[in-house]
Amino acid sequence: MKQVDFNGRRAAQIESAELRLIVTQQGGHVAALLDKNSGISPLWTPNWPSIEPSEYSPSLHPEYGDGAEAQLLAGIFGHNICLDLFGGPDADEAAAGIPVHGEAAVAPYQLSGDENHIVLLADLPRAELRFERKVELAADGVVVFSEAVQNQAYTGRPMAWTQHVTLGAPFLEPGQTRLLVSATRSRVFEGSFNNDLGKQLPGAEFEWPLCPQRDGAVEDLSTLTRETSTGGFTAHLMDPTQEHSFFLAWSPRYQLAFGYVWKRKDFPWLGRWEENHLRSWAPWNSKAYALGMEFGVSPMAESRRSMVERGKMFATPTFFWSPARTRSTVHYCAFLRHTAQLPAGVQWDGDRRIALL
């Protein structure tokens, strides 16, 4: 493990013959996963300057917007953790200092490791949790993730736990980048999203990937749109007949396949969030181009109360119950491979071997 500077941020780096992986010390974001042959990282780097979350001040940094998401946006990179909230806090939580997606994505982490793995550890005092993530480079372009959440409280509680993986340019390319997802039943975000901008029909149910639009048309979400200004959020139930779930994004220009695979029992949902030059307010300023593939225990990015009141969607729970004083663990993998065509699927041995079909 080597200490590095990444876009002005303190970070740690490990690398193999194929990959270079960079993780920020504050927020614990996987900021880059670089294919050393092509020089491409599929992960999103925002088009605005990044600062350490601890340096953020509403009065000093209005360029990141206002509200509970500003601190997160000031320091966000590719893959961040949403814990124990997936979405925005209620007004009372925001007043108490809880940011969008919870404090884990802005917390300072203790980093340790060696030449091929990094261990990140953070205490989350407001949530009464301890979060640990181990990231390890394995063979054949595979990255192994092991996570643990320790409930420090003396009571059990409902909790969100989502991997907020966001892809960006140049890997993302309008009309070109293809997506393969083990998804089935799906729903568009029901309420106002992006200030009611965008073309998706709120609350519409559908089967992946054909998403209903407000004008009666249908969009195929498996290929990035060529339109110049779009955005929205759709929730997808992972195939309940399969032990493992996955998403894969393929770039025909770079002939790279990038994705994640996980145990469906751990993360039964995936949210597809698209921001294509739609949001005109700070810090987006109609310049951002990003695609979130956010897999976890909850389908919708929403408040804690809404998550609990929803309870189930498509007969599947919408939150994780964290027992009192209990340590809960998950294990999943990312991969980055060269392939001349879109694979037909992904096969995982449940440990650290992945085959593209």
What are the chain's domains? 2-356 (2.70.98.10)
For residues 37 and 141, give the distance between their C-alpha atoms in angstroms, rounded to a whole number.
Answer: 12
Does the pTM surpass 0.85? The reply is yes
pLDDT of residue 90: 94
Count CB atoms within 10 A of the CB of residue 195: 10
Can you spell out the DSSP letters for 323-348? Answer: -TT-EEEEEEEEEEEE-SS--S-EEE
For residue 143, the model assigns a pLDDT of 98
Containing 299, the helix (H) or strand (E) segment is: none
pLDDT at 224: 98
- Cα–Cα distance measured from residue 142 to residue 337, given in angstroms and rounded to the nearest whole number: 9
Rounded distance between C-alpha atoms, residue 350 and residue 261, angstroms: 9
pLDDT of residue 34: 98
What is the maximum alpha-carbon separation in the chain? 54
The Cα–Cα gap between 136 and 143 comes to 6
User: Helix (H) and strand (E) counts for the chain?
Assistant: 3, 26
Of the candidates 12, 199, 19, 231, which has an alpha carbon nearest to the alpha carbon of residue 109? 12
199 token code pair: 């073309």
| Stretches in the chain below the pLDDT threshold 70 | none
What distance lies between CA 126 and its chain's CA centroid?
Answer: 22
158: cis peptide before it, omega within 30°?
no
Tokens of 321: 């119950």
